Structure 1
Amino acid sequence: MELAPRLDLMNWLTGQGLTGASENDLVRGFCERCRAGGLDVSRSIVFIDTLHPIFEGRGFRWSDIETNEADSFEYGSTSEGDSAKNWRRSTFFHMLENGYDEMLIDLADRGSLDFSMIDELAEKGHRHFLCFVHRFGEAGTIGQMDCLYSYWTTRRAEGFSEKGLAALRDLVPVLGLAIKSAAHVDIARTLGRVYLGRDASEQVMRGRISRGVTERIKAVLWFSDLRGSTSISESIAPDEIIPFLNDYAQASIDAVHDAGGDVLKLIGDGVLAMFTGPDMALAKRSALRAEHHFRKNISVLNARRGADGRPVTTAYVGLHIGEVFYGNIGSEDRLDFTVVGPAVNEVSRIASMCRSVDRELLASSAFRDGLDAAGRGYLVSTGRFALRGIGHAQDLYTLDPAVAADEVVTGRYERYLAG
């Protein structure tokens, strides 16, 4: 690859990195431009560890022929099981263990090398297998993201030429810098969603990070907490407490998200969420749909935990509607993007009343009043109550017992929620 196309490719990578191109687009564009510039790359995989609660990293593939492989993939922990065995057989593990930055294998003369991938690549007609490990400095490391790994192959009978090898040595670090930049954005968005919630994260990522910057919104509020969690936590082994809380938090959060809501805060075993939109009647129906799915999630979860001999429980849910302030609350160097206001205090009090009236769901009169006639018909009064710390008494409502007891009513209610 001559100097001019090499410089053009560097400029293209710089521009794409600055504009925020995706990793897939970067790898595909890079390989296509390499081939157009005379560098006969036949296959490439680039991967990078990340900071994510579920997987360890992401990888990106390109091939000069059509395959049924996905352009991108995610991989889990490489520290145990079959993944650990495969990782230890890789050229990259060998390079890290021996301090190598580059490794070139002639696939036609691989001898007794026992690295993963190389036999399959040779059978598919690739001749040279070139690996790079580009290490990051301590200041450039986030979590496990401390290296960029890549391999490149060619089908040329002579393998990569010296000019081709020199070009890749110059170009791959620039590609790596662009991919690292994109990975940083992915990490920031992931951390925002995981720790702030989906909508709050988007607000923060758009620049709403000044203290006191809030907006007054009308929202349907959800507060749920677990029944008997304190006594259960005291009766089980310490290392079982977090899995117990995680299982039921997952059941709640999945239900809220699937119904279009946003989880704002986890408070011990409690979950504060909201449902918004131009039509509050639809937002209320979404909250009821989330509550219904939550019960189903708990039923499945309890069956699984019960089969394993682990403690099970259920949950209380309070639903309310009101005006809240939504935005940044806190100090100059420690902010929380959340909702505050009397309605937030009220929904937590409503959820607490579930214990007193022995109902798993309680909704305020304000919540019920804004529903359509069909929705109001599914909620029945449990009486009038004065809530602790709230200056006025109000009627509270729960789901008509017929919804759980009568299959016909259950089906009708589910059709209503789906409407």
Structure 2
Amino acid sequence: MQTSSEAMAGPLHDSGARPIDSKGILDWLIMETRDQRFIDNIFVDLCERLVQAGVPLARATLHFRIHHPQWLGARILWRKGLTEADIRMFDYGVEDTTQYLNSPLYAVNNGASQVRKNLEAATDDEVPNSLYEELRADGFTDYVALPLEHTLGKRHVVTFASDREGGFETVHLEVLTSLLPVLALVSEIRLKNRMARTLLETYVGPHASEQILAGATTRGSGVTVNAAILICDLRDFTKLSDLWPRDDVIELLNGYFDAMSEPIERHGGEILKFMGDGLLAIFPLSNPRACENLLQAIGEAEVAIATLNQENLARGREALGYGIGVNVGDVMYGNIGSRRRLDFTVIGPAVNIASRLENLTKQAKRPVLLSRAFVELAGRTRDMEHLGAFPVKGLDDPIDVFAFSSSTAQAAE
């Protein structure tokens, strides 16, 4: 006995034209996409196979809501003639815009089982400057938006548009809808894989996330890495957090971390953790420019902090102070923690010295302090200011400490 899904998957005929092999496409989608990691590549291949099978498809999109700290959602667009998808990200807040509220995406996300539009003739009830006007101007004749149902009631949207005179016939829509359950499963797997990677990158950084996804999840697992280490701390944060409203404190911290983090990441550093009002980052010395990149990142961060302080002063707030300690050496990079709760971080004497240097900035009255080991490796001994040898907690011998001279600071900016 043939099931309804099998009936939908069988060859369908287009008004006497050659059969549309929806079963062949369905089999490919189920059996031959397992090694393809990215849903955009699968979607492009799917659209091309539909065209080859006889479906008059000229444009298609996938719309996903994603868990990302910066983006609300993503749109994957295929058009006839393109060999790669166009991927666009959408900011939080787009769901409140008039454009979205008047769109078919809004209707499908809020329960509609289908939104279809004949584009060959405009209608009086059409919203000006709508998606339909854009599609009609680009020569499309028919448009349909359909729900893509993921587990636990998560709903996304897939759309198809035709440029054929008369648009889609019933047989074409039957082919498209017959593929949706499998497309939903295939896309959900890729979306959740991407979501897991995004969440790991967000909370532990790109390199650590790769290590974890590759299986480095055992307590004590790790490697020795030779790296330049940067530790930064915000000054007088306890006083500020006691005096300021909570939302202002959060805004202050976010602004400060943006100013510090973006230059670090831009120059190849990896932020391993935020520690209250501080951060820990490394620049692996596998990159021969690691030390120079770290210095460049500090220079750009200082400029960004100065700009932020100007904004704070203009709003009647105090300027932010900070301390940065820099060292270089071997660190143990891996999983540390309890049996059930791990932290992917770096530890070792080199990290301890960077921390001591950061704390020493209060005594030295300089915002950035660097160890002799780092300065010599960077080849910057002559253009840094030697402040002398300072005793530090936990070390028997004092450490030679350097700071930016005025000329060094200008060169780093």
- What TM-score range do you get, normalising by the shorter chain? 0.7 to 0.9
The residue aligned with 1:186 is 194
Q: What is the aligned partner in structure 1 of residue 86 from structure 2? A: 71
Q: What does residue range 313-352 of structure 1 map to in structure 2 within 5 Å?
A: 313-352=320-359
Task: Give the one of 38, 45, 49 matched to 1:29.
Answer: 45
Greater helix percent: which structure? 1
SS of aligned partner of 2:21: helix
Mean alpha-carbon deviation: is it higher for 170-179 or for 330-339? 170-179
Is residue 104 of structure 1 aligned with residue 119 of structure 2?
Answer: no
Partner of 1:48, secondary structure, is strand
User: Hey, what's the Cα distance between the residues in 2 that align with 1:284 and 1:26?
Assistant: 41
**Residues 386 and 392, structure 1, Cα contact 8 Å, conserved in 2:** yes
1:84 is aligned to: 97
Deviations 1:9-58 (A, max 9, x none): 12322345411343332222222111110110122121111100011111
2:228 aligned to which of 216, 220, 223: 220
Please give the alpha-carbon distance, in whole angstroms, between the structure 1 residues aligned to 2:359 and 2:388.
Answer: 15
Task: Report the CA distance between 1:263 and its aligned residue.
Answer: 0.8
**TM-score of the superposed pair, with normalisation by structure 1:** 0.86
Q: Tell me what 2:292 maps to.
A: 285
Q: More deviation in 351-360 or 156-165?
A: 156-165
Counterpart mapping for 1:107-126 below 5 A: 107-108=119-120, 111-114=123-126, 116-126=130-140
Shift of 1:356: 0.7
SS at 2:226's partner residue?
A: strand
Whole-Å separation in 2 of the counterparts to 1:118 and 1:370: 61
1:4-403 matches, cutoff 5 A: 5-15=21-31, 17-64=33-80, 71-78=86-93, 83-97=96-110, 99-108=111-120, 111-114=123-126, 116-138=130-152, 146-278=154-286, 282-372=289-379, 375-403=380-408
Q: Tell me, yes or no, if the aligned pair for 1:26 and 1:175 is still in contact at 8 Å.
A: no
Q: 1:247 to 1:109 in 2, by over 3 A?
A: same
Query: What stretches of structure 1 of length at least 5 have no aligned partner?
Result: 405-409
| One-letter amino acid matched to 2:369 | L
Identity %: 27
Question: 2 CA distance for matches of 1:95 and 1:42?
Answer: 21
* CA deviation map 1:232-276 (0-9, x unaligned): 222322210011011111111112112211111110111111111
Shift of 1:382: 1.6
Cα distance change, pair 393–36 in 1 and its aligned pair in 2 (3 A): same
Cα deviations by residue, 1:264-315 (Å, 9 ceiling, x for unpaired):
11101111111112467x4322222221121122122223333344433132
8 Å Cα contact 1:263-1:272 kept in structure 2: yes
Letter in structure 2 aligned against 1:390: L
If the length of structure 2 is used for normalisation, what is the TM-score?
0.88
Which deviates more from structure 2 when the two are superposed, residues 45-54 or residues 389-398? 389-398
Matched letter for residue 27 of structure 1: F
| C-alpha distance in structure 2 between counterparts of 1:35 and 1:293, whole Å | 51
Paired amino acid for 1:77: Y
The separation in 2 between residues aligned to 1:371 and 1:34, in whole angstroms, is 57
Letter in 1 for 2:150: F
Greater Cα offset, 325-334 or 125-134: 125-134
In structure 1, what residue type is equivalent to 2:230? Answer: W
Aligned residue identity for 1:76: D
**Contact 2:233–2:323 under 8 Å retained in 1:** yes
For residues 81 and 205 of structure 2, the distance between their equivalents in structure 1, rounded to whole angstroms, comes to: 41
Structure 2 unmatched runs, 5+: 1-10, 13-18
Letter in 2 for 1:194: T
Q: What displacement does 1:109 show?
A: 5.7
Aligned residues: 395
CA distance in 1, matches of 2:101, 2:230: 47
CA RMSD of aligned residues (A): 2.5
Secondary structure of the corresponding residue to residue 370 of structure 1: helix
